[in-house]
């Protein structure tokens, strides 16, 4: 086999702008955690009237069961920690996908919006039913705002952070 049959270094997908792992996962996870947490306090707390303590206790229910609601501040903080762990995992999945699919960097806005919706569906129809929460009844009143919220406040920020971390050449391609 001749050397000319091998691809040259820097040719192909490796020449596409790549997001940086730390930036995308850490900053993306923080952005998702903060924005989604604010959404939860505004939508479930202010609009639907849930008590602030119960918002993140509900996250802890996934591991602790309904006893989480009796745990006070400790289970609130545990739920908050779990929320940021999940947010970081969502950012890590986007990073891994973007490294292998440069189109997610090139078209960050539509890719991010779609990713946020997919993340919502995955959490609500795969992860949560497998947790101690179990399958919840469908409510369009809850579904639509949360679905849109995840597109804008979860998927879009991590996609834009990934594109930013890939450098200025990534922004010029769109």
Asked if residue 84 is part of any domain, the answer here is: yes
Asked if residue 85 is part of any domain, the answer here is: yes
Asked if residue 3 is part of any domain, the answer here is: no
pLDDT at 2 over 70: no
Q: Which pLDDT belongs to residue 9?
A: 40
Asked if residue 4 is part of any domain, the answer here is: no
pLDDT tens readout for residues 77-136: 999 999 999 999 999 999 999 999 999 999 999 999 999 999 999 999 999 999 999 999
Asked if residue 133 is part of any domain, the answer here is: yes
Query: 60 is in which domain, residue-wise?
Result: 20-172
pLDDT tens readout for residues 25-47: 999 999 999 999 999 999 999 99
Asked if residue 66 is part of any domain, the answer here is: yes
Return the exposure string of 55-77: e unless at least 16 CB atoms fall within 10 Å of the residue's CB, then b: bbbbbbbbebeeebbebeeebbe
Q: Which pLDDT belongs to residue 12?
A: 43
The percent of residues in the chain predicted with pLDDT above 90, rounded, is: 86
Asked if residue 146 is part of any domain, the answer here is: yes
Q: How many domains does the chain have?
A: 1
| Cα 127 from Cα 89, distance rounded (Å) | 13
């Amino acid at each position: 086999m001749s050397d000319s049959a091998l691809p040259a270094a820097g040719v192909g997908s490796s020449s596409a702008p790549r997001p940086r792992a730390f930036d995308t996962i850490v900053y993306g996870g923080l952005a998702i955690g903060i924005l989604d947490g604010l959404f939860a306090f505004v939508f479930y707390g202010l609009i639907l009237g849930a008590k602030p303590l119960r918002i993140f206790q509900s996250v802890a229910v996934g591991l602790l069961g309904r006893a989480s609601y009796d745990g006070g501040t400790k289970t609130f903080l545990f739920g908050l920690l779990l929320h940021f762990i999940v947010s970081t995992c969502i950012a890590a999945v986007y990073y891994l996908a973007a490294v292998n699919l440069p189109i997610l960097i090139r078209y960050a806005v539509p890719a991010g919006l779609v990713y946020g919706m997919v993340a919502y569906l995955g959490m609500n129809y795969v992860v949560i039913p497998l947790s101690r929460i179990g399958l919840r009844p469908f409510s369009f009143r809850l579904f639509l705002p949360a679905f849109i919220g995840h597109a804008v406040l979860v998927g879009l920020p991590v996609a834009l952070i990934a594109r930013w971390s890939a450098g200025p050449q990534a922004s010029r391609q769109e």
